[in-house]
Amino acid sequence: MLVKSKIMDSVLQVDTEEEGQIWVVLSFLSTLKLGGVCIPPNDSPYYSPAQYGALARYTTGQDKVIVLGDFNSRLATPLLADRDGNYYQYQGVQDNVVNEHGRILLNICNNNGLTVANHLYYNGNL
């Protein structure tokens, strides 16, 4: 995660407790938690299933959270609903495969009110 020097004084909290994850709170967005996450593929010596548990833990109960990163997940066209139960629309998805990481990530999204932004068609825009 990179932060402009001129806003470094606004960093209230940095949490790097979990390997491959950084969580930041800024004073001017103190109700928003920003996460940077890298979950390696299954065949990497750095992969641990606990990394998905940590992602779930950091997003559970958070009303305002943004997570960016590389989850090594193949999601096909996600089946995710908004708070009214309407399914989000995705366009231009060319991958039709959901891998193990993708299933775990979609489960975390569904349980924690997270939405995949990649290829999201929202308010008439991609």
Average pLDDT (24-36) is 95
Q: How far apart are CA 15 and CA 22, in angstroms?
A: 6
Q: pLDDT-based confidence at 55, cuts 50/70/90?
A: very high
Going by pLDDT thresholds of 50, 70 and 90, the confidence category of residue 126 is: low
Cα of first residue to Cα of last residue in the chain, in angstroms, is 25
**Span 28-46, average pLDDT:** 94
CA 126 – CA 122 distance, rounded (Å): 6
pLDDT exceeds 80 at position 12? yes
pTM, 2 dp = 0.86
CB neighbour list of residue 64: distance below 8 Å, 6 or more residues apart:
31, 32, 33
Beta bridge partners of 117: none
pLDDT digits (tens, 9 = 90+) for 62-95: 889 999 999 999 999 999 988 898 899 999 999 9
The DSSP element (H or E) to which 34 belongs, if any, is strand 33-38
- For 48-52, 90-94, 120-124, which range has the lowest pLDDT when averaged over its residues? 120-124
**Residues in Cβ contact with 107 at an 8 Å cutoff, skipping those fewer than 6 apart:** none
